[in-house]
Structure formats: C-alpha cells, structure tokens
Structure 1
Amino acid sequence: MPLFKHLHISDDCNLYIWKIEEEVDYLQNHVELSDKEFEKFNGFGSESRKKEYLATRLLVQKYIAADLRIENNEHGKPFLVGSDLKISVSHTKNFAAIFVCKHSTPAIDMEYLSDRVNRIAKRFLSESELENISDQNRTFHLYQHWCAKECLIKFYGKKDVHLIDELKIHPFSPDQDTFTGEVCRNDFSESYTFKYIQFDDYLLVYSLK
C-alpha cells in the first residue's frame, strides 16, 4: 500500500495521503466493509470512484484502527462510527487523503491542477475574489480558493450553502503560507485559517478548528 505522505499536523491531528496504484480487486480484498458500506460501494459505476471509496476506508483501517468504519450523516458529512475521533476525507485523480483529529475539527480538500478551473471560476468566486486572483499564477491561485471553499462547506456541514454569497476567502497572494476565509450565514458564522501542500500536479488545502 503506497502511503505517499504522512503529516503530523498537531498533537492530536494526522493527515495521510495515499497514491492509488492498486486495482479494485486488490483493494477490496484488503479492506473490511460493513453491509452498508458494501451496498454503497456497489452503487458506484466508475472504477475510479470505487478505488477512491476503498482507499479512504483502507487508510482508516491501516493507520487509525482496524475496526473503524466511515459512515455519512444525513448531510453527507463523514464520521467514524463509535469513535470520538473526527475525520475529513478527500480524493482526486489517483490520490486519496484522510485528516483525523481527536480534539480539533478538521477539513481537507485535494484537487488535481487542471485548466478546467479557469472555465468555472465565476461559478464559485465573487467579483472581488476574482479581482484578487494572480495573473502570473492564476490556475494555482484559483484552486487555492476552490479547495478552501470546499473546506468551508465541510466545516459548515451542510450542502445548502451559496458558494459566492456565503463563503468568503479573504485577499491573499498565492505564495503565502496561510490564508483565511469565513462562512457567512445567519445560522452559522465562523472564520478559518488555511494551509496548503503542493505536490506534483496536485494541491491539498487543510484547516482546523
């Protein structure tokens, strides 16, 4: 199992990134799935989505605890059954990641860097956020914003949030070590600080609260 990177983020938080190189059959033979997980796994149509699903669960069972299972609440937010550990999950082309904490609440998003983000920038960024995007490093900067907003959604915990009006990323340059953003809703208002890791053609953004 090719663990690509393990980061000890804080005293109670660990981040694991795995490069998915195995086939579905191999992964399935090395992970234990509950009946509910197996039913969900069988519902995926694509091989890549099946691999991602198995990879995140194998990461948990191999590096956190063999008897832990991931389920999702009614809003789709993942949690570890019968455990006080908190988890955030992300996957993208050929990679999967889990971010697990005992006391803090984690959020993570990982994306493959492609030109696609330039075509959809106006769907998730406000005019003021677009004005702050770097001309020299546009694609990377856009993905920093995209990943951070995905983290904000995970912190909020529900999907009925407006990407432009209710998720705000404060101005920053793409080479900053950290940057900030906030969820702005009547029922939820909170600010967060983000850090990021770049490797190969991928970006991973994470935050703790």
Structure 2
Amino acid sequence: MPLYKSISINSQTTVKIWKIEESYDALFQPLNLKSQSLQRVLGMKSELHQRGFLSVRHLLHEFGYTDQDLYYDDHGKPHLKDGKHISITHSFTFSGVIVSDNEVGIDIEKQREKIEVIAHKFVDYEYNYLKSTDEDYINRLTVIWGIKESLYKLFATPGMLFKEHFLVIPFMLKDGETVAWIDYENKKYRYNTAFLEFEGFTCAYVVP
C-alpha cells in the first residue's frame, strides 16, 4: 500500500504516513539509494527495519525528494539539502515523515501494555493527571512517550532526559492536541503538539 495518510498541518508543514505492506524487494526495486544508505539497509539484521528504512525513502518521494536530498548530522538528526526541516519515524508496519519550514519532530509507537512497565522512566509531572486505573491509561502513556520522543528528535541534544526535562500538559485522547514544555539548562521552551491513533498505533508530532 502506498501512502496511508497525509495531514496538512499548515501551509509550511505536512505529515505523511506509510503503511508498510510491501515486501523488501518491492520497496527496494524502484529506489536509487546513495552508497551510505545502501550500506545501512544491507547491514540491518531485521527485515522489518529494512522495510521501515525503505518506506521512509518512498515517503521522501511523496514530498518530491530523493534519498540524495537527505543527510544526517553528528547527532543522527536528519536534514534536507534545501534547508527545510524534517523528522522521521518508523514502528513495525508504519512509518512517518514530517517536513516543515520550521523545526519539527515526529514519532509513531505501537500501543502496548509493556509501556506501563517503563512509565516511571519517562513520566513525572504527568502522574498528577494520569491514573493506572483509567481505561485509556496505556493509550495516554503512549501519547506522552510519542510527544517527548518528538521533542527529543527536534532538539537532538545529548543529555536531555524525558522524565526531568520534558513535561506534557493534561489532555484527553479526544483532544488530539496538547501543549508540552522543555525545561533545560535554565531555559523554558513551549510547544504545541498533536497526536492521532490508528490501527493500534499512535502518531505524535510537534506543531510549528
């Protein structure tokens, strides 16, 4: 299946999501990968990761880019040669790309019970409005993780911690959006964020 979803956030920002149903060969065949990308994909042990990597290149094509237009900095953050901002994610059978004139971040996560086990590692302030008895506890935890992951990708600063430096303002799943803050090295940054759910997955992104 080609494009699964396209979301026009504003005139400068678009999110595109791919549902990965194709085989490795079907995804690989039409692409013209640069040598570093070829090395990376051939070195991946999991075919699921390979297909995720290749589907992102197809999403680039949907934006009018090729693999040659994408490069990574020393922190592993992706950039586009034309100066636009990009963030990339893939999880199991979905991948996503956000492109904007401004700094952005995106994350897709599968909704899984096991997130409850690691919640104490990334949730602090949010326990003020989250209860483990809530029916939507797992889904809201997944949103919080996705938002913090998106912010981390946007900043790409080693030393930032989800639990200590990021906080997500109270929200309900039906809201589809909330505000998040980064409090880091005596500076505070405010971000609008959005999220959506589909087929047992959550996608969260920072809205410029």
With normalisation by structure 2, the TM-score equals 0.92
Alpha-carbon distance in structure 2 between the residues aligned to 1:56 and 1:170: 30
1:138 aligned residue: 137
1:52 aligned residue: 52
1:63 aligned residue: 63
2:178 aligned residue: 179
Aligned-pair CA distance for 1:68: 4.5
Alpha-carbon distance in structure 1 between the residues aligned to 2:166 and 2:120: 14
Q: 8 Å contact 1:34–1:69 — kept in the other structure?
A: no
Q: 8 Å contact 2:9–2:207 — kept in the other structure?
A: no
C-alpha distance after superposition, 1:119-166 (max 9, x if no partner): 11011111x312311512101110111001001101212242112111
Question: In the comparison of the two structures, how many residue pairs are matched?
Answer: 206
Alpha-carbon distance in structure 2 between the residues aligned to 1:27 and 1:50: 9
Letter in 1 for 2:120: K
Aligned-pair CA distance for 1:205: 0.9
CA RMSD of aligned residues (A): 1.7
Aligned-pair CA distance for 1:51: 0.6
Unaligned runs of 5+ in 1: none
Alpha-carbon distance in structure 2 between the residues aligned to 1:64 and 1:144: 29
1:17-56 to 2 correspondences below 5 Å? 17-56=17-56
Q: 8 Å contact 1:5–1:16 — kept in the other structure?
A: yes
C-alpha distance after superposition, 1:30-82 (max 9, x if no partner): 111111111111221110111111110121024323474322111111112x2
**Which moves more between the two structures, 10-19 or 188-197?**
188-197
Alpha-carbon distance in structure 2 between the residues aligned to 1:23 and 1:178: 34
1:144-159 to 2 correspondences below 5 Å? 144-159=143-158
Secondary structure, counterpart of 1:75 in structure 2: coil
Q: 8 Å contact 2:57–2:67 — kept in the other structure?
A: no
Aligned-pair CA distance for 1:193: 1.1
Q: 8 Å contact 1:152–1:182 — kept in the other structure?
A: no
Q: 8 Å contact 2:33–2:67 — kept in the other structure?
A: no
Secondary structure, counterpart of 1:164 in structure 2: helix
Secondary structure, counterpart of 1:175 in structure 2: helix
Alpha-carbon distance in structure 1 between the residues aligned to 2:51 and 2:139: 26
Aligned-pair CA distance for 1:19: 0.5
Q: 8 Å contact 1:183–1:189 — kept in the other structure?
A: yes
2:126 aligned residue: 129
Secondary structure, counterpart of 2:164 in structure 1: coil
Secondary structure, counterpart of 2:163 in structure 1: coil
Secondary structure, counterpart of 2:6 in structure 1: strand
Aligned-pair CA distance for 1:188: 5.3
Secondary structure, counterpart of 2:57 in structure 1: helix
Alpha-carbon distance in structure 2 between the residues aligned to 1:191 and 1:28: 40
With normalisation by structure 1, the TM-score equals 0.91
**Which moves more between the two structures, 182-191 or 145-154?**
182-191
Identity among equivalent pairs (%):
24
1:189-204 to 2 correspondences below 5 Å? 189-204=188-203
Alpha-carbon distance in structure 2 between the residues aligned to 1:187 and 1:29: 49
Secondary structure, counterpart of 2:87 in structure 1: strand
